[in-house]
Amino acid sequence: MSMQEYRSAPGISPSDLKYGVDFLETFGRTAGSPARLKAKLLGMFPQRKETTSLRLGTFYHDLVLEHDRLEILTEKSLAELTASRMKRKVASKLASYPQKFLYNFQEAKEFKAKHEREATPEEQEALKMLRAERETEASELTDKSPEMIAYRQSKSAEGTFICNPNNPLHKQAYRMYQSLTQDRSNAHVWESLQNAKGKDRVEVSIFCTREIKIGEAKLTVQLKGRPDLIPAGDTFKDFKTCVSAGAEEFSKASARMGYWLQTAQYMSMLNLLADRVSEEERDYYGLGKKSKISYLIQETTPPFEAAEMFATSSQIQAGEHFAKIALSNFLSCYALDDWRMNHDTEMRDTLYPADLCHFIENYATIQHQNANQ
């Protein structure tokens, strides 16, 4: 199943679920709610802005997880694409010139100065061609050029994706890939990634249903996910690029981006599926019971250090807990058709962290009680 088909398929994904978790505001994100999750599922939120960091992460995931489909764009192919683009641009320029020949452009002036006469009709056509080539020669082939887009699409149809060595982002991704696969210090991460080699264990779309108890009733919700890979064993593994592979820095990024919620849901879905499929399917897809989560991470800047980080049991429990609450709240609102949000009525002091405010309030109460005694 392609990514486009997966996104259009019905179901709540781990990424969608972040819109229903109000706890994320603790990490500087917008607080979620059932109404926000409903709006996300209805497509009311604009598509996420495609930043350079996001493009790098997406391309590098494909490069690492599906490197057997990689094709490096050769100089010959680049030259052919460039020539094709130049031909199209020149034709477009020629079509834009006025029917009547004008004598005030560079090539016409040079011709008259050299030959001391005006150009014949045949020579005028040649001069216009020279002018069109000069005006388009500074225009370079880019990934957004129609020729490059068509080439990528044709290769994609063949099951191949292109790495363009002239593209700075692709060049950076390939340097990261070389470091991951060749540096001895990163060998343990690369070896761990190779644990899922079959095509059916990489970028797999998974779907399952989950029953949530609402009061006395049980409601069923459709879930979906697309984990990076499904390795054998009891550990679910997720591949991430990061600014820093240091434990403290990545832990902060994981909390802020909601990785703890996302990966806990992936693991929960895989465990649900493991209980519902045959033993043969469990063995083939690596659906043994997962109880641990590890992040295989790599920095996006030199020396492109890679590391493996394990989620704590409390992070896994928190991910499962808040996901269940978000789903329960969403289904309750759906059942009642009431999407009003229950906000706190008291403002918070934004000058201090919430836990410090709580300490100050308690300390003030203690001081007040002592003064009365």
- Judge whether residue 372 has pLDDT over 50: no
- Tens of pLDDT, residue by residue over 313-331, are 888 888 888 888 889 889 8
Question: What is the average pLDDT value for the chain, to the nearest integer?
Answer: 83
- Judge whether residue 366 has pLDDT over 50: no
Residues 6+ away with beta carbon under 8 Å from 9: 1, 205, 207, 224
Which pLDDT belongs to residue 24?
A: 61
- Judge whether residue 73 has pLDDT over 70: yes
- Tens of pLDDT, residue by residue over 182-229, are 999 999 999 888 765 555 577 788 899 988 877 777 888 899 999 988
Question: Which residue carries 């540096």 as its tokens?
Answer: 183
- Residue 101 to residue 114: CA distance in whole angstroms: 18
CB 85 within 8 A of CB 202: no
User: What's 301's DSSP letter?
Assistant: S
Residues 6+ away with beta carbon under 8 Å from 274: 282, 287, 288, 289
**C-alpha 96: how far from its chain's center?**
41
- The SS3 assignment for 226 reads coil
Complete DSSP assignment for 93-153 = HHHHS-SS--S-SHHHHHHHHHHSSPPPHHHHHHHHHHHHHHHHTTPPP-TTSHHHHHHHH
**CATH 3.90.320.10, domain 3-52+187-335, yes or no:** yes
- Judge whether residue 94 has pLDDT over 80: yes
